[in-house]
Amino acid sequence: MTGAGEDWMGDALDIAGADCGLWVPGVDYMSGWRGAREAADRLNRALLGAGFELSQLRAVASTDEGGRGVVRVACWPDAAERLAVLLEAVTSGDDGGAA
């Protein structure tokens, strides 16, 4: 993904172990990270489409200690508020078809 806020080196540092500082031998961190990266890229494209700047609100790929992909959302508080307003507007009045 290209555009404002892209930092491939920063993303690479989010791969396995960045949170805990440990890499466990034999754990396939790359596989989990690749899946998380695809999901984070899709979410970032959607955020850009909704008018957010990736410097304010961004999805970041990572993995947990077991190698499972994790997507974290990092943002400024005002961007979180804007996102909450958008999500509330989308979900208001939608009861999911329940009677």
pLDDT tens-digit readout, 70-95: 999 999 999 999 999 999 999 996 55
**Which pLDDT score, from 0 to 100, does residue 73 have?**
96
List Cβ neighbours of 14 (8 Å cut-off, separation of 6 or more): 33, 60, 61, 62
pTM: 0.68
Low-confidence ranges of the chain (pLDDT < 70): 1-21, 93-99
Domain-by-domain residue ranges, the chain?
Answer: 29-92
**Which pLDDT score, from 0 to 100, does residue 5 have?**
47
Three-state DSSP class for 63?
A: strand
**Which pLDDT score, from 0 to 100, does residue 21 have?**
58
Within its chain, how far is the Cα of 29 from the centroid?
17
Phi, psi of 5 (to 5 degrees): 85, 0
Give helix then strand counts, H and E, for the chain: 3, 2
Whether 61 and 40 have beta carbons less than 8 Å apart is answered as yes
**Which pLDDT score, from 0 to 100, does residue 93 have?**
63
* C-alpha closest to that of 57 among 35, 30, 34, 81: 81
* C-alpha closest to that of 65 among 17, 31, 32: 17
